Amino acid sequence: MDDDMLADQRRLIELVEAEGWEVTDVELSAYDSPWEDEDDPEATVTITARKPYESDEDDDADDNPFRVK
């Protein structure tokens, strides 16, 4: 795998984490484009991240019968 691809992946992770997200999974796929005649490889980065948000609602006011309390 190309070092430039890995460096770009790390930079994308840094950007996501800088926005307060916790990266939980990363997948980098490198391939030759089936649509281009050039020999330059392409890459796809899939980042899975989570970020909790504070609820504005009062949890005691929840009347949902399916919610575990």
Q: How many residues does the chain have?
A: 69
Residue type at 29 in one-letter notation = S
Q: What is the pLDDT along the chain (69 residues), one digit of tens a residue?
A: 689 999 999 999 999 999 999 999 999 998 887 777 777 888 999 999 999 988 766 656 667 778 776
Residue 53: the pLDDT is 87
Extended beta strands in 1-69, E state: 22-32, 41-50
What pLDDT score was predicted for residue 60? 60
DSSP code at position 65: T
The half-sphere exposure of 57 on its side-chain side, counting CA atoms within 13 A, is: 6
Exposed (0-12), middle (13-18) or buried (19+): which is 8, by Cβ within 10 Å?
A: middle
pTM (predicted TM-score):
0.68
